[in-house]
A and B are shown apart, each in its own frame.
Chain A
C-alpha cells in the first residue's frame, strides 16, 4: 500500500510563498512525535523487509527497492539511541528527500499534517542542542503534544565519504 504525497518540488523553500506557515507531516515513534517539512516527504510506504547492508550503523536497516531505485532505510528510534525497532506490517517508512538523495525513515505510524507558523517554532533549550539532539531543528506544540521537527541533513548526512 503506497500513497504518494503531493509531488512538490523538494527544493522549494516554503509551501505557500508570501506566508510563513509551513506544513509538516508528523509521525509517531513510541510516545514521541516528530515532524518533517511536507515538501521533503516524497511518499509513505508500508514496511517491507529490507536487504541488510554489512558493516553499517545499527540504525541503518538496509535498502529497499523503490520502483527500481535502491533506497536506504534508517530506524528513527534507534537513531535517537532507542532500541532497534522490530518492524511489523503496521510500521511505515516515510520516504524523504535529503538534498539530491532519497532516504527512507522507519517510524511506528504517520499521525497528521500540521501547519506551523514559523514564529511558533521554539529552539531546543541550550545545553541539549548537542549530540543526537542537534538533529532536532526546533520544537513546536500541537494539539497532540510537543512535536520535534527533524533536521534531516544533520540526522542522516548524505555526504559521500568517498576518496575518489
Chain B
C-alpha cells in the first residue's frame, strides 16, 4: 500500500523533528534552564511519537515511549523531582527513543539494542512501577522475564500456553472533538487494531446533512470486537493514546463479572450485531485518508489472516530519505516578487527595443542594469532557499558527547552557540561526519580525565564549545575545548617517526600543531574505539577541503585547543578571478587571491636550485609558473602578471599568469560527473562565450610543483 508507506515516511520525518525538539528540551532541563513549559513540550513530543508509533504498530517504540511518557507525566505533575540523576536518565531515554525510531525506520525494529532493557527498567523505577533494587542487570537474557516486561509490553502473554483461550473484548469508541485535531485517524486505529485480534467492526450514527457538517466533529461511533488472548487491560492500553480525545467503553460479553466499566456500555452490549468477518474484510477499502463517512467504509481483518506488518522501507532509501527542505514562506514570496519585477523590466526592455531610437539607448542600458541587479537578487534568494540553520547538525552533537563521556569515563559539557547560522543544505549534510570526528578528537585527546583536571586546578567537568558564525561569504565553525591542548612533543615525535618531517626541521609550535592534519597522522598510541582508527584529523581536513573549506588549530598547552573550520556558504556559486595562460582561461577562487602584481625585471629572483622567487615589499615569495604547472607549452613572455594567493599549507605563493581578466561570479560544474578528478583542478565553469574554464586548486598545484621546496611563510 503506497498510501501506507507515504504515511510511514511522513511519520518518520515528523518523528525526527519531534525527537530533535525533544533533545533540545531535555538538554535545557538537564542544564536546569527549563521551566514547566519545557517539561510540557517534552511530554508532548514523547506522546506524539508514541501516538504515531501506535498507528504503525512499532511495539518496542510504543512500549518505550509509553514508560518514558509516564515518567514525563510524573515530572509534569510534580510527583517526581527532576534531579540530575533523573535528567541523565531522560537524556539517555531521548537518545534511546532516537535509536528505536531509527531501527523502526530501517525495518530492523527487532534488532537488539544495548541497554534498552536496563533503561526501560530505570524508567519504570522513576515511574513508580518498579522497586529500585529490582533492576535486572544487562546481561540477563533478552526475552526478559515475563514479569519484568509486563508493565510496558503490550503483548506480554507470548510465553503462556500455546493455545490460549481467545476471549471476546468489545470496545466502543466515539471520537470527540479534539480527536482529528490531535492527528488521530480512525482508519489507522482500525488497521493497527487488526494486529491485536480485531474481528468485527460495527459502526453507528449518521453523517449530518452537508450544511451542518463540521469536519472536526465525528458523529459516528464504532464498536470493535476483538477475539484475543490478551487481557482487557492490554486492550485498554492499546486504546490508551485515544483516551483524551475519544470516549472509550470496554466490555467483555463473555465474562460479565470481569467488567468494571460503564454500566451504560454493558446495557448496550446485547445490541451488538455480529458481522461475519469475511464480509467486512471484503468491503474494506484501503486508500481512505479521511475518516470514513459511511458504515461500509470501515475495514476489518480476521485473526486467522493477520495483516502482514508494513513492509520494511526500501533499502534504496538510504540513511536519510528525507530530501525535502522546509522553507519559510517569506523566502518564497521574495522570489515571486523578484520574478514579477524581472518580468516588468523585461517588458520595458522589449518595448524599448521595438520602438527604440537613439535616445532610448540610455533607457535600455538602464533596464539592463536593473535586470542585472534583479538577477543577482534572484540568485541570492534562490540560494537562501537552500540555506538551513546548522542547528540540525549541531543538535546531534550532545548525544555524541554523552555517548563518549560514558565510554571514556570523562564528564564533559557541550555548549552550542550560533545554531541558527545558516549554511547551504548540501554543506550541512556533509558537515555531520567531520564535526563528529572533531568532537570525538576533543573528547578523546583534548580533555583530560576528571581527576587529572582537578589536579591541574581546572573545573572537574570538561567543556567543549561548538560555535558557528558568519564572516563575509563564509561560515566559521569553531570547536573549542579546555583540555590539555595539542601534545606537541608527541606530535613531533610521531611525525618524525612517520617521516613526515625530519628531526633537523626547525618547526614553529604552530607548524607542529598543524601536523595533526597531515595525511596518515593519528596521535592515538593505541587504536581506540573512539578515535584514531588509523584515520584522524587528516580525514576531517580532506572532507572540509572537498567542501571548499579550510581548517586550522590554535592550541595553548595546558589550556586547550581551538579548531576552526571555515566553509563557503554555498557550493553552487563562488566568486572567481578569471586569468589567462596562453589561449586558455582559468579561474582562481577569489577567496584565495591576495593581490595581483606586475612582474618587472628586478622583482623576479632565482634560488641556486633554479626555483624562482618574487620580491614583494622586501619579502620573498615562491614564484610558480602556472604554464608549467598546467602542462602547457612554454612560451617566452617577458610581460607577465603575478597573482599572490594564500595557500592553506604553504603560505603565500605567487603564480605567474599571462593576463588578468577580471572578477566574476561563477557557477560550479563538476568535472567528475563525466570524467574523473584531475590533480590541480577543483572543478570547472562555463564562461559567457560557452567555453569551459577550469577552476584551479591552488593548494594542489603548489604541492605538485614542489613538495620539497622550502616553506616561505609560517601558517596563519
Q: Which residues of A does B touch, CB under 8 Å? A: 49-56, 62-65, 68-72, 101-103, 158-162, 164
CB-defined A-B contacts under 8 Å, sample of 13 = A49-B691, A51-B691, A53-B694, A54-B631, A54-B681, A65-B690, A68-B669, A70-B670, A72-B675, A102-B674, A160-B677, A161-B677, A162-B672
Is there an interface contact between A51 and B584, defined as CB atoms closer than 8 Å?
yes
Is there an interface contact between A164 and B542, defined as CB atoms closer than 8 Å?
yes
With A162-B676, A164-B546 known as contacts, the answer to whether A52 contacts B584 (CB < 8 A) is yes
Alpha-carbon distance between A56 and B680 when the two chains are bound, in angstroms: 12
Q: A162 contacts which chain B residues (CB < 8 A)?
A: 672, 676-677
The number of residue pairs between A and B whose CB atoms lie closer than 8 Å in the complex comes to 76
Q: A62 contacts which chain B residues (CB < 8 A)?
A: 692
Is there an interface contact between B675 and A70, defined as CB atoms closer than 8 Å?
yes
Is there an interface contact between B684 and A51, defined as CB atoms closer than 8 Å?
yes
The yes or no answer to B165 lying at the interface (CB within 8 A) is no
Alpha-carbon distance between A18 and B669 when the two chains are bound, in angstroms: 41
Q: B630 contacts which chain A residues (CB < 8 A)?
A: 52, 54
With A51-B684, A53-B694, A63-B692 known as contacts, the answer to whether A70 contacts B676 (CB < 8 A) is no
The yes or no answer to B679 lying at the interface (CB within 8 A) is yes
The yes or no answer to B632 lying at the interface (CB within 8 A) is yes
Q: Which residues of B does A touch, CB under 8 Å? A: 542, 546, 584, 629-632, 669-681, 684, 686, 690-694
Q: Which of A50, A51, A103 contacts B674 (CB 8 A)?
A: A103
Alpha-carbon distance between A164 and B433 when the two chains are bound, in angstroms: 14
Is there an interface contact between A69 and B669, defined as CB atoms closer than 8 Å?
yes
Alpha-carbon distance between A64 and B684 when the two chains are bound, in angstroms: 10
Q: A63 contacts which chain B residues (CB < 8 A)?
A: 671, 675, 684, 692, 694
With A53-B694, A65-B692, A103-B674 known as contacts, the answer to whether A70 contacts B629 (CB < 8 A) is no
Alpha-carbon distance between A102 and B677 when the two chains are bound, in angstroms: 15
Is there an interface contact between A101 and B674, defined as CB atoms closer than 8 Å?
yes
Alpha-carbon distance between A162 and B669 when the two chains are bound, in angstroms: 18
Kindly name the residue among A50, A51, A103 whose own CB sees the greatest number of chain B CB atoms within 10 A: A51
Q: Which of A64, A70, A159, A164 contacts B671 (CB 8 A)?
A: A70
Closest Cβ neighbor of B701 among chain A residues: A54
Q: A71-B674, A71-B675, A101-B675 are in contact. List 9 more A-B contacts (CB 8 A).
A: A49-B691, A50-B692, A51-B692, A55-B678, A68-B669, A70-B670, A103-B675, A158-B676, A162-B677
Alpha-carbon distance between A68 and B670 when the two chains are bound, in angstroms: 10
A105, chain B: closest CB distance, angstroms: 13
Alpha-carbon distance between A85 and B384 when the two chains are bound, in angstroms: 47
A49, chain B: closest CB distance, angstroms: 8
Is there an interface contact between A70 and B632, defined as CB atoms closer than 8 Å?
no
Q: B671 contacts which chain A residues (CB < 8 A)?
A: 63, 70
Q: Which of B672, B678, B686, B692 contacts A54 (CB 8 A)?
A: B678
Q: A72 contacts which chain B residues (CB < 8 A)?
A: 674-675
Closest Cβ neighbor of B704 among chain A residues: A55
Is there an interface contact between B632 and A69, defined as CB atoms closer than 8 Å?
no
With A63-B671, A68-B686 known as contacts, the answer to whether A53 contacts B676 (CB < 8 A) is no
Alpha-carbon distance between A50 and B691 when the two chains are bound, in angstroms: 8
With A51-B684, A53-B681 known as contacts, the answer to whether A65 contacts B691 (CB < 8 A) is yes
Alpha-carbon distance between A114 and B690 when the two chains are bound, in angstroms: 34
Q: B686 contacts which chain A residues (CB < 8 A)?
A: 65, 68, 70
Q: Which of B673, B674, B678 contacts A53 (CB 8 A)?
A: B678
Is there an interface contact between A160 and B584, defined as CB atoms closer than 8 Å?
no
A54, chain B: closest CB distance, angstroms: 4
Q: Top 5 nearest A-B pairs by Cβ distance?
A: A51-B692, A54-B631, A72-B675, A54-B630, A101-B674
Closest Cβ neighbor of A63 among chain B residues: B692
B667, chain A: closest CB distance, angstroms: 9
Is there an interface contact between B693 and A51, defined as CB atoms closer than 8 Å?
yes
